[in-house]
Amino acid sequence: MLSARTIYGEIFDNDEAFGLFCSIAASGEAQGGWENGKIAALVPGSQAGLAAKIARHGADEDKHGRIFTALLRKRGLEPVPVPADTDYTMRLEAAGIGLAHARLRREEELTEADIVTYLAHSRITEQRASEQMQALRRHAGDRPDIARAVRVISADEDNHLAYCHEELLRLAAAGHGEVIRATLRATALAEIAIYRDVSLAVMAHLGGILGWPRPKAAVLAAGIRGVYACERAGGWRRMVSLRMPARRNALGGPVRAQASHA
């Protein structure tokens, strides 16, 4: 049977596949942590209230990176190099989505337009993260270590998404509405294609490790392309809506300490 649950099970049960899966996840989270840490330090004076929330966002992503690394180490594994074609964050950056890393490394104060770009990019990528963690939650149910880790991360990603909605609505009300709508649209359309390509690359690497026969790999690749077709045909619109979240000020608290279980 070729169900998502079986596929995740195969990955979780194989040390090499699990090692690559967690390494890719840890690296993406750590890059998110780095980006948010840089942005928090460069927030313009007009948006000073955001700095602590962005720092908290970055601290959460760093924590997620540590959680995935801890899952590896618990199995006696070490992180492995992440193949470039599976690097979601770097591929988004290379496509000009979000703030360029070179811009962040210049250590110059950001503009309000940069903050809109950052929040629109986060609105899209946090939705992806939130949906992926919900999928992992569904499929890791009988593996307590993984399920516990994913529950923690999933709750954080939902908070990150809520924060993006709230802050973008605030900036839209302050007159940035048109730019926000255009940026969200362009970001979503680019993201769905990059997500497809990264998913195909991840599946190809994992399939190689797990020795999947060609027909099985072909069915999975067709599934990934099918998801893209649905997203391109209109599914992308779910990623660009803005709704005031039930949970307000989701990142308003202090930066939390290390994950206790990691």
Nearest distance, CB of residue 152 and Fe ion, angstroms: 10
Under rule CB under 5 A, residue 61 binds Fe ion: yes
Report the C-alpha gap between 29 and 60 in whole angstroms: 9
Which of residues 29 and 87 has its CB atom nearest to Fe ion in the complex?
29
Under rule CB under 5 A, residue 157 binds Fe ion: yes
Which of residues 148 and 216 has its CB atom nearest to Fe ion in the complex?
148
**DSSP state at residue 246:** S
Which region among 53-61, 97-105, 181-189, 216-224 touches Fe ion (by CB under 5 A)? Answer: 53-61
Nearest residue to 36 via CA among 255, 249, 241:
255
Query: Using an 8 Å Cβ cutoff, are 201 and 85 in contact?
Result: yes
**DSSP state at residue 109:** P
Query: Using an 8 Å Cβ cutoff, are 65 and 134 in contact?
Result: no
Taking each helix axis as running N to C, give the angle between helix 177-210 and helix 4-13, from 0 to 180 degrees, rounded to the nearest 10.
60
Nearest distance, CB of residue 126 and Fe ion, angstroms: 5
Which of residues 165 and 212 has its CB atom nearest to Fe ion in the complex?
165
Query: For residues 160-199, which are near Fe ion according to CB under 5 A?
Result: 160
Length of the chain: 262
Cα-atom radius of gyration of the chain, to the nearest Å?
18
Nearest distance, CB of residue 33 and Fe ion, angstroms: 8
Nearest distance, CB of residue 216 and Fe ion, angstroms: 30
Q: Which residue has the tokens 């929330």?
A: 53
Query: For residues 125-154, which are near Fe ion according to CB under 5 A?
Result: 126, 129
Which region among 58-66, 77-85, 112-120, 163-171 touches Fe ion (by CB under 5 A)? Answer: 58-66
Binding mask 22-41 for Fe ion (x = CB under 5 A): -------x------------
Under rule CB under 5 A, residue 123 binds Fe ion: no
- CA distances from residue 261 to 24, 63, 72, 137, 150 in whole angstroms, order as listed: 21, 11, 14, 17, 12
Binding site for Fe ion (CB under 5 A): 29, 61, 64, 126, 129, 157, 160
